[in-house]
């Protein structure tokens, strides 16, 4: 993506996967906000991946979406919607641990 260091999207993808695969007791309520290891330092890892989806060409977008689907599904299974979170936030910022 333009304006990001090379490899940032791949790094975010791997970080999102590590966040999802952590044992429940190791999940923080931030679910990816601990992005100090992102080189750009500006985005929640899933937000960066969503921005990448919108910036990529059709085939690459389809491939990334297919790769993200099982990780997102796992996050949805492990968490519940936070009824107190603002509804205009993306789904990954409105989740709480079950």
Q: Which domain holds residue 33?
A: 8-97
| pLDDT 10s digits, 60-91 | 999 999 999 999 999 999 999 999 999 999 99
What pLDDT digit, counting tens, does each position of 1-25 carry?
567 778 888 988 998 998 888 776 5
Q: Does a structural domain hold residue 56?
A: yes
Place of tokens 């936070």: 82
Decide if 44 is inside a domain.
yes
* Number of domains forming the structure of the chain: 1
Confirm whether 89 is domain-assigned. yes
Confidence at residue 34, expressed as pLDDT on a 0 to 100 scale: 46
Please state the pTM of the whole predicted model.
0.79
pLDDT for residue 39: 56
Report yes or no on 1 lying in a domain. no
| Cβ neighbours of 61 (radius 10 Å) | 14
Backbone angles phi, psi at 49, to 5 degrees: -65, -35
pLDDT the model gives residue 4? 74
Residue 54 DSSP symbol: H
List the one residue out of 21, 24, 42 whose CA is nearest residue 33. 42
């Amino acid at each position: 993506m333009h304006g990001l260091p090379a490899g940032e999207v791949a790094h975010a993808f791997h970080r999102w996967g590590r966040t999802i695969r952590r044992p429940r007791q190791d999940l923080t309520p931030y679910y990816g906000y601990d992005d100090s290891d992102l080189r750009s330092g500006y985005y929640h890892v899933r937000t960066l991946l969503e921005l990448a989806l919108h910036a990529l060409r059709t085939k690459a977008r389809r491939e990334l979406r297919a790769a993200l689907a099982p990780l997102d599904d796992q996050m949805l299974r492990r968490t519940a919607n936070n009824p107190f979170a603002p509804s205009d936030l993306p789904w990954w910022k409105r989740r709480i641990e079950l």
